[in-house]
A = this chain, B = another copy of it.
Amino acid sequence: MRQAGRYLPEYRQTREKAGSFMGLATNKDYATEVTLQPLDRYRLDAAILFSDILTVPDAMGLGLSFAQGEGPRFEKVVRDEAAVAALQVPDLNKLKYVFDAVSSIRQALKGRVPLIGFSGSPWTLACYMVEGAGSDDYRHVKSLMYSRPDLMHRILEVNAQAVAAYLNAQIDAGAQAVMIFDSWGGVLADGAFQQFSLKYTAQVLSKLKRAADGQTIPRLVFTKGGGPWLSEMNALDCEVLGLDWTMNLGRARALVGGDVGGPGKALQGNIDPHVLFAPPAQIEQEVRRVLDSFGKPHTDPVRTGPTHIFNLGHGIHQLTPPEHVTALIEAVHSHSRAQRNVKIV
C-alpha cells in the first residue's frame, strides 16, 4: 500500500509546497522526497513509488484532477461507442514524470531497500474511466459491462496493453518489483470477475519483463475483496498475492501457499488498517494474530524468497496517528523475529 500520505506531517508539508496532489506526483523531486519520508520514520523493508493509479487514463487524455477534500475526477468519461473507439494506448512520453521519479527514487535509496513500482489493474482503471470518479454504486461501469460487453472488452484490452507498457517502463527506470492494484475487482459478480478483471490482469502479467540487470522482478497482485476467487488467482503468473483483511491467512496459505507441491505464492497482508486507531497494546495483539494466522514460515530448503510479507490489508486512513504505525512495525519485527523471512512493506 502507499506508505506516504496525509497521515504524515512531513508529507503534508511537501504537499503544501507542491500546491496540488498532481503537482506533487508529477515532480520527480517531490515524489522522491515523499517516497523516502516513511523510510526515514519507520523500519520498513521496501519502498513503494509515490504516484497514483490514475496516471495511465490521465495520459490517455481523460484529464485527471483532485479537488480539495474529494477523490479523483476525470474531465472526460468513456461511456459510449465513440469514446471507446477513440481510446488508445498512451504515448509513454506523457508518463515520463513517473519514470523519472522511479529513477530518482532508486538513486536516492542507494540500495537501502528495494523499490516497488505499481499500476492499477485494467478493470480498476476502467471503473474510473467509465464512472468519471470514484463510485459507491458502479452503475455506469456495470451497466456498460452488462449491456455492451464488447465495448468493455475493448477498453480492457487497451488498458492491459497500456498497463504492461507502463510497468515495463517502470522496470526499465529502476523498479525492482511491480504491483498491480485491482482495487475494484471485488465489486464484480462471480463470472464477471473472471471475464472482466482476472483475464486482463493475466494479460498484463504475460507481457511483463521478468528481469532487469540480471535480477528477477517479482510481480505482486492485490485484489480488494478478491477472497472468493483466491484459488483462481493461484493460476496467475505472479509471485505474490496481496490479501485484504477479510481473508484468513492460514486458509489462504492452504489454498495457494504451495505448502503441498509447486512453488505456490507468497502472501502479502493483511491487517485491518483501522487497528491503527487502537492503543499500542491492542495493535500488538492484532499483529500477533495476523502473524500467527499465517503460521510458521515454510521450511522447505528449495523454496526461496519470502512466504509472508506483512502489510496492511488496504490503504492507511488519513487520521491515523503516525506513532501507532511505529507501534505496529515494531510489533511485527519483535513477534516475527522467530519467524524467518517475514518482510515488512
Binding site for B on A (CB under 8 A): 136-139, 142-143, 146-147, 186, 188-193, 225, 227-228, 245-248, 270-272, 274-275, 277-279, 282, 286, 289, 293, 313, 317, 319
Contact = CB atoms under 8 A, between A and B. Distances in A.
Contacts of A188: 246, 272
B313 A147 contact: no
Nearest to A231: B251
Copies of this chain, whole number: 2
Contact of A248 (B228, B279, B319): B228
A139 B191 contact: no
Contact of A286 (B146, B272, B282): B146
Nearest to A186: B246
A275 B60 CA distance: 29
A247 B146 CA distance: 18
Which 6 pairs from chain A and chain B are nearest by CB? A146-B278, A142-B274, A143-B277, A189-B245, A189-B272, A190-B248
A141 to B, nearest CB: 9
A270 B190 CA distance: 10
A275 to B, nearest CB: 5
A245 B143 contact: no
10 contacts: A139-B274, A142-B272, A143-B274, A143-B278, A147-B279, A188-B246, A189-B271, A227-B227, A228-B246, A228-B247
Nearest to A272: B189
Contacts of A136: 136
Given A228-B246, A228-B248, A246-B225, A190 B278 contact: no
